[in-house]
Structure 1
Amino acid sequence: MAAPKHQIRALHTDSTVTVYQAYAPEIGLPAAREGCFPAVWQRDRMTWIKPSFLWMMYRCGWGTKEGQETVLAVEIAREGFEWALEHACLSHFEHGLHADRSTWKRQLKRAPARVQWDPERDLRLQPLPHRSLQLGLAGEAARLYADEWIVSITDITPLAHTIHAHVRDGDLEMARQLLPRERPYPVNDGTLAHLHQ
């Protein structure tokens, strides 16, 4: 059965959800070692978290792009993740969802989080017809993420490289078996209503 166009799929437990980010080693390695972001991590910049492992691989080139060589799995509290969704604004104007462009711009400026829906990726990082959530955190949301929501940070760069090696060798079945087990993430009907049509 085809996946719904807008659906959050993630590795999650009853209390946490795992999101992915990729950083230069001077940020990523201490973050994984200490379980929190180092002082050099900038709280005043928007930070994008991604529940899709393969979308993260597309974005960071399997951990080979400059400044994205360390791939992190960040386990965060579901309460925080859902707070960010509820307080997020769609990153682009959507006719029929927003009253008008100026109203949307005001909402976007005030919102501590923003959402983009980008094409999900397959193992060869080709686009799929359904979308993957990207959640941008700024201001209050970025501070809460860094200081309160994080349960654990794991360096999964070796996993990314291993899966990529299997893909390069054409062994997609082995690569697929190593992927994080992402399942539809349960959200109340109203939680995403303001984030897509």
Structure 2
Amino acid sequence: MKIELKKYDEQITEWPKSGYHIMAQYDEEEIIVYQSYRKEIGEFAANNQFFGGEFSLSRMTWIKPNFLWMMYRNGWGTKEGQEVVLAIHLKISAFNKYLQNAVYSTYDDSLGMSREEWQNEVKTSSVRLQWDPDHDPYGNKLERRAIQIGLRDDFVKTFVKEDIILIENITDFVKEQYYFVQNQQLENLLVPVEKPFLFKDEELNKKLQISGNHE
């Protein structure tokens, strides 16, 4: 695996406890996001290094940069249709483009626009943004919020091939780590190294409601 790993116990002391944070592993070139699929789709993607075969270009696909939140959603790869867990090394430029074009999936007064304006944006946008409670390895809800990004139409078409640097099948790694969770041995749990991601564009950070690193 080309993912940098570190003990969970060592990382939680450094992670923000609350606020809206894009927790991820990234550098100047790429950011790692996670998805889970049934075997036919997941293995095709890992073997061919692009999404094809039974992957549907007409549906919205959701990416999650936070490993533990993905594990909460897919039950550590045990949920039906989510057995193959992929780590997708995504071009940072593509990730920026997604979020610049993102519209919140639900309306909120804090968005700084009317419901009608938001509805118009939703109709024309092909990228959805959602903040949900983050979770610990056992699935307990945290105060910190985690992001997921939904892509459709032209954004899905570029995501499946052009935007991807590398696709890794990390299913075996997930199973190994799930053993420690099941046996309440978090001192042995390894997870990807993650830290809060901030955009260089301050206006974009504000639009996305991203908290400062100090929270």
TM-score band by shorter chain is over 0.9
Runs of 4+ off more than 4 Å: none
Asked whether 1:14 is paired with 2:18, we answer no
Taking the aligned partners of 1:193 and 1:90, their CA distance within structure 2 comes to: 13
Matches within 5 A, 1:1-197: 2-175=16-189, 178-188=190-200, 189-196=202-209
Is the CA contact (8 Å cut-off) linking 2:61 and 2:151 kept in structure 1? yes
Q: Secondary structure at the match of 1:153?
A: strand
C-alpha deviation, 1:4, in angstroms: 4.7
What is the identity, as a one-letter code, of the residue corresponding to 1:85?
L
Taking the aligned partners of 1:59 and 1:26, their CA distance within structure 2 comes to: 20
CA RMSD of aligned residues (A): 1.4
Is the CA contact (8 Å cut-off) linking 2:198 and 2:205 kept in structure 1? no
Is the CA contact (8 Å cut-off) linking 2:94 and 2:163 kept in structure 1? yes
Is the CA contact (8 Å cut-off) linking 2:71 and 2:137 kept in structure 1? no
C-alpha deviation, 1:185, in angstroms: 1.3
Instruction: Structure 2: give runs of 5+ residues left out of the alignment.
Output: 1-13, 211-215
Instruction: Structure 1: give runs of 5+ residues left out of the alignment.
Output: none
Query: Identity percentage over the alignment?
Result: 36
Q: Which moved more, 1:91-100 or 1:161-170?
A: 91-100
Is the CA contact (8 Å cut-off) linking 2:89 and 2:164 kept in structure 1? yes
Taking the aligned partners of 1:82 and 1:41, their CA distance within structure 2 comes to: 24
Q: What is the TM-score normalised by the length of structure 1?
A: 0.94
Deviations 1:122-168 (A, max 9, x none): 11111110100100011111111113110111111111111110011
User: How many pairs align?
Assistant: 195
